[in-house]
Amino acid sequence: MTRDDVVLLPREAPVQLIDAAGAKVPDAEYRPPTAERLRDGYRRLVIGRRINDQCNALVRQGRLAVYPSSHGQEACQVAAAMVLDDGDWMFPTYRDAVAVITRGVPTAEATVLLKGDWHSGFDPRQYRIAPQATPLATQLLHAVGFAHAAKLRGEDTVVLALCGDGATSEGDFHGALNFAAVFQVPVIFFVQNNAWAISVPLSRQSAAPSLAHKAIGYGMPGERVDGNDLAALLAVLGEAVGRARAGAGPTLVEAHTYRMQAHTNADDDTRYRDSADVTAWLDRDPLVRLRTHLAARKALTVAAEEEFAAEAEAVATSLRDALNTETSPDPEDLFRYVYAQRTPQLQEQWASLSAELVREASE
């Protein structure tokens, strides 16, 4: 297939393989994952939802400084982790803790950033996950550079970079997609369109027919997918990963989902959106949908459900244990690893902070 043969425009409607009522939707192009893979995905969704609930509670207990919840977006989180091989890399954002944990980062390490103890609590090389990025869209550039380097070295590494709908308005989004398409870099840009960038709705963010339509402007395929349908996400992202690994370059995937909770605990979403809009999305919940589907296929026993719930409870316990343990980070770490040689400004700031710490200790 030549580059000209590839269909760049996304479909009119997002790809869906299981509808909101749990029924199978036939598709000529995308094959649904096996029942076994879907059951494993459901298990991860149950754990993901529990992580979101537990982290919200830990914020209220003052144990986490902040938690940008992915409640309602768990299918995107789980799919992002499931489609990658061990040797691939993920470049996540602040909202992607569930994806990070699903890929294998222990809860104690995954929550260090959100607790405010350190820039990242895990070793990126060990899990092949870049630190969760807070500055919007910067991770897309890092992902492209990383994937380009892997390609130049002759490795078959695929890189999946996540971002939100708001991040697509950043200049870095443009730079990353343009470079990736020109140099046919093995990267998947996975946009979780959850309809809101804090208080800014998608309609104030983009006038494009869809965010996936932006792909054609760069010369890469774009696809839209139901972001609450794990089966469709696995199929669409899986195909994009396969294309990247085969040397066919990048893909832009837009998942249509919804941010069910406030942006973070520091945000009051009742000030800018109608609660009826939120409740309307309850009918499309990714967990309920997959559970109904698997149960109808007799692919989910009561025993399996109990086992998944117990596993999720164990993950929640590990989160509580990790965050209820007092830590004493060294304040100088803030300055230690920024540059090989500390700049005069950093020296001045550290001198001021250390004087303050000495004064506090003597009080």
Ligand X SMILES: Cc1ncc(C[n+]2csc(CCOP(=O)(O)OP(=O)(O)O)c2C)c(N)n1
Site string for ligand X, 65-104 (x = CB under 6 A): ------------------------------x---------
- Which residue's entry shows tokens 């760049």? 8
Site string for ligand X, 175-214 (x = CB under 6 A): -------------------x-xxx----------------
Coil, helix or strand at residue 68: coil
**List 148, 256, 263, 289, catalytic entry:** 263
- In order, the DSSP letters of 148-188 are HHHHHTT----EEEEEETGGGGSHHHHHHHHHHHHTT-SEE
259 is catalytic: yes
50 is catalytic: no
Where are any strands of DSSP class E within the chain?
A: 89-91, 159-164, 187-193, 196-197, 200-201, 222-226, 251-256
Contact segment (CB under 6 A) with ligand X among 132-140, 270-278, 314-322, 346-354 equals 132-140
Among 166, 221, 227, 286, which residue sits at the site for ligand X (rule: CB under 6 A)?
Answer: 166
Is residue 259 near ligand X by the rule CB under 6 A? yes
The distance of closest approach from Cβ of residue 216 to ligand X in the complex, given in angstroms and rounded to an integer, is 21
11 is catalytic: no
Integer Cα distance of 94 and 81 in angstroms: 15
Among 87, 135, 329, 331, which residue sits at the site for ligand X (rule: CB under 6 A)?
Answer: 135
**List 3, 31, 119, 272, catalytic entry:** 272
Cα dihedral 220, 223, 228, 230, rounded to 10, equals -80
Contact segment (CB under 6 A) with ligand X among 80-88, 111-119, 163-171, 233-241 equals 163-171
- Which residue's entry shows tokens 């967990």? 287
Cβ neighbours of 295 (radius 10 Å):
15
Binding site for ligand X (CB under 6 A): 95, 134-136, 164-167, 194, 196-198, 259, 263
Residues involved in catalysis: 259, 263, 272
